[in-house]
Amino acid sequence: MLKIVLTLWLITLSLFTYGEKTNLQPADGSSQPSERLPLKELRLFTEVFEQVRIGYIEELSDDQLFDRVIEGLLANLDPHSTYLNQQSYQELQENTSGDYGGLGMEVTTDQGLILVVSPLDNSPAAEAGIRSGDYIVEIDQQSVRGIGLQKAIDKLRGEQGSKVSLSIAREGEAEKIQLNLEREIIHINSVRSRILEENIGYIRIAQFQTNSGDEFKTALNELQAEAPLQGLVLDLRNNPGGLLPESTAIADALIGEGLLVYTEGRLPSANREFNATSGDLLDGAPIVVLINKGSASASEIVAGALQDQGRATILGTRSFGKGSVQTLMPLDDGRAIKLTTAHYFTPNGRSIHGEGIEPDMLVEPAEEDLEDNKDPQLEAAIAQLKNSTATP
């Protein structure tokens, strides 16, 4: 029992030390926690911990139990706060750099199930027909209800060539959809570009990863070198988000001046403003941004900034509606927590959380059974640009 109490105190003290190192200070600006430690609750915790440790049907080490305590604490806050063990933390870092083994989709939790935010381009998930808004209810014939987001992600990922079965619930479908998928190494090409027609450029951003901002600027400059662009289609459909700095860098490249996005949280360090600094690389040429219900988080930051600043026409369907900011906090031994610390707002003060971005032009996607591979949203974007004149 003494060992447990001492361990708990060490963890508590280390958390406060970490808060000082990362500027996570109390809202009153003081350098010490604003309230005394909850000694009564800590004693109760140690009692419960000890009863579980000696009486639970399976023998678990102290480390295993503490992992589960932290997982439970974060999982009950919101769908996006989570505990990352060494493997999960490493996989997250691989994900932001663009290479990992798995199915290639962004997921979150909703009502105890796993909700697909978006499948990634050319991934096993996308090729199997998984859509934004699908619910994963079983993985390898095991229910996912209540297992938590990180454990579900661990089950979905795996070595290249290994297989996994999924049971999918989809709105409008009476029966569950059964899928068998083979995991692959997911290589995410963050930015792709090409000329469409009549000096109209097209840039697709699949996810906001490390260096996506620089890659976007390079792609835009290369398109401009072919011929001065008279318009740009920025495709953010099925882009689940990613790194906030990369999204603001891309919005900054297209907006000459003004506010891009701001965040608000409990701590002063969570309250930030991001403003345009670099000028407009398109010199006012018109922009159409494509979004759908798979466009989330950082995608919504870019679309919201361009919409509120009157810099682009937003076309497609309403976006996902993830307007919260997660801060990655490394712990000891290669572990970390991902904690929701703020909400972000568009320049006009709109909170997108749970609401999404409403397009200026509502254009539905092609029906699934069309065989001519038409893209009515892209066609509408091209038509809109042809009818537009450059903004002075």
Residues tagged active-site? 297, 308, 322
**Nearest alpha-carbon partner for 263 in 273, 254, 253:** 273
The number of beta carbons lying within 10 Å of the beta carbon of residue 158 is 15
**H/E element, 125:** helix 124-127
Would you say the C-alpha torsion 235, 236, 242, 245 has a positive or negative sign? Answer: positive
Nearest to 339 by CA among 75, 34, 85: 75
What tokens appear for 242 in the block?
């990613």
CB contact at 8 A, 346 and 379? no
- Tokens (6 digits) for 39: 């000694």
Amino acid 214 reads D
Separation CA 297–CA 324 (nearest Å):
7
Rounded Cα distance between 225 and 217, Å, is 12
Q: CA distances (Å), 352 to each of 35, 47, 343, 346, 356, in order? A: 33, 42, 9, 8, 5
Indicate the DSSP class of residue 364.
P
CB-based contact 321:118 (threshold 8 Å): no
- Are residues 95 and 156 in contact, defined by beta-carbon separation less than 8 angstroms? no
* DSSP states along 270-296: G-EEEE--S--TTTT--EEEEE-TT--
CA distances from 181 to 98, 119, 126, 242 (A): 20, 13, 11, 25
- Residue 240 and residue 107: Cα distance in Å, rounded? 9
